[in-house]
Amino acid sequence: MQETKILLDICFPAQPDSLHEMRQQVADVLTSLGLSYDAWHPLVLAVDEASSNVIRHTYQFDGNHQIELKILLVDKTLIFRLHDDGDRVDTEKIIPKRRNQAKPGGLGLHFIHEIMDKTTLIDIQGEGNTLEMVKYLQGQDAR
Amino acid sequence: MTYLVEEKDGFLLVHLEGDVDLSTSPEVRKLMLDCLRKKPQLLIDLSQVSYIDSSGVASLVEGYQLSKSQGSEFALIGVSEAARSVLQLARLDKVFPIYDSLAQRLQHGSI
């Protein structure tokens, strides 16, 4: 059985102003694994985009809610779990649509799917939404 | 995020510094659209941008689209590594006109 390490377990206000500090915490965790800037920067971006989507679409900028973020390391696999207590999200909504490059919409989902190896809405707590994003660290440091 | 707007060599230059994310991109969007309405030659300096997300990129796209619709100029200069990697991910690095500096833009011809 592979050991699961909890690298980060935080809860932050669902407000745009909270994103900077969250990103810093995620970056600190990833750099402590020995990941290069080119490896950790996209992962921070993906977590930030997922959090922004919760703030914008699930909570509609109602900053009284919280977002939970867990980062797990299982062998050489990073798992980012983002949980909100908002209304259930249609799983179709996390699938990026074909993008027109010169149109601004849908970029956040595009980034998440380009960066992560697997993105799934999982049902583990019975309420709200839990988005799980998986990144395999093949060939990268994960001390 | 902070910004500075200056007029130089016939261009309006907007220097952005810091993080352009969900909390700051509405201000960036408004700033760019206001600038484009004032002067049809706008350069956005991204050399001091430490982070940009999809909402920041979307603001740049809006500025670019407005400039195209009104026949004005909109270009990016001194794009930082952090911003360049996100533009590449968005596949927009070949869509925006990008110059290393104002001097390089001036070498490409007069306004």
Window 53-72 of A: residues touching B by CB (8 A cutoff) are 55-56
**Domain of B92: which CATH number?**
3.30.750.24
Weakest mean pLDDT among A99-103, A106-110, B64-68? A99-103
CB–CB of B95 and A102 under 8 A? yes
Using alpha carbons, list the distances in angstroms from residue B52 to A55, A81, B77.
Answer: 17, 22, 15
pLDDT in tens, A10-58: 999 999 999 999 999 999 999 999 999 999 999 999 999 999 999 999 9
In this prediction the pTM is 0.93
Look-up of token digits 């309420």: A127
- Mean pLDDT, rounded, for B26-35: 96
Domain assignment present for B111 = no
Chain B contact present for A76, CB below 8 A: no
pLDDT at position A36, please? Answer: 95
Q: Give the position of tokens 């050991």.
A: A3
Of B89 and A142, the structure prediction assigns the larger pLDDT to: B89
pLDDT above 80: residue A140: no
> Per the domain annotation, does B1 fall within a domain?
no
pLDDT score, position A124: 65
- The share of chain B scoring above pLDDT 70, in percent, equals 98
Of the partner residues A41, A52, A102, the one whose CB lies closest to the CB of residue B82: A41
Looking at the 3D structure of chain B, how many domains does it have? 1
- Please indicate, yes or no, if residue B76 is contained in any of the structural domains: yes
Closest alpha carbon within chain A to B94: A101
Closest CA to A43 of A112, A123, A126: A112
ipTM for the assembly: 0.93
How many beta-carbon pairs under 8 angstroms link A with B?
62
CA-CA-CA-CA dihedral for A122, A133, A62, A41, to nearest 10: 180
Taking only the tens place, the pLDDT of each residue in B69-107 is 999 999 999 999 999 999 999 999 999 999 999 999 999
pLDDT range class, residue A122, cuts 50, 70, 90: confident
Task: Please check whether residue A138 touches B, CB under 8 A.
Answer: no
B15 lies in a domain? yes
Domains of chain A are 4-136 (3.30.565.10)
pLDDT by residue (tens digit) across A65-83? 999 999 999 999 999 999 9
Residue B51, domain member (yes or no): yes
| Cβ–Cβ below 8 Å for A52 and B22 | yes
Instruction: Specify whether the CB–CB gap between A76 and A142 falls below 8 A.
Output: yes
Collect all residues of chain B within an 8 Å Cβ-Cβ radius of residue A63: none
Strands A77-84 and A129-136: antiparallel
Q: Which of B59, B85, B91 sits opposite A41 (nearest CB)?
A: B85
Structure tokens at A108: 């956040």
pLDDT band for B109, please (50, 70, 90 cuts): confident
- Cross-chain residue pair B61–A104, CB shorter than 8 Å: yes
- Rounded to whole angstroms, the Cα distance separating A120 from B3 reads 38
Cβ pair A19:B23 closer than 8 A: yes
Q: Which residues of chain B make contact with A48, given a CB cutoff of 8 A?
A: 21, 53
In a domain, B107, yes or no: no
* Residue A127: band (very low, low, confident or very high) from pLDDT cuts 50, 70, 90: confident
Domain assignment present for residue B83? The answer is yes
Nearest-CB residue to B54 (from A19, A42, A49)? A49
Look at A52 and B19 and tell me if their CB atoms are within 8 Å. no
Q: Which domain holds residue B82?
A: 8-100
pLDDT at A105 over 90: no
Q: Does residue B3 belong to any structural domain of this protein? A: no
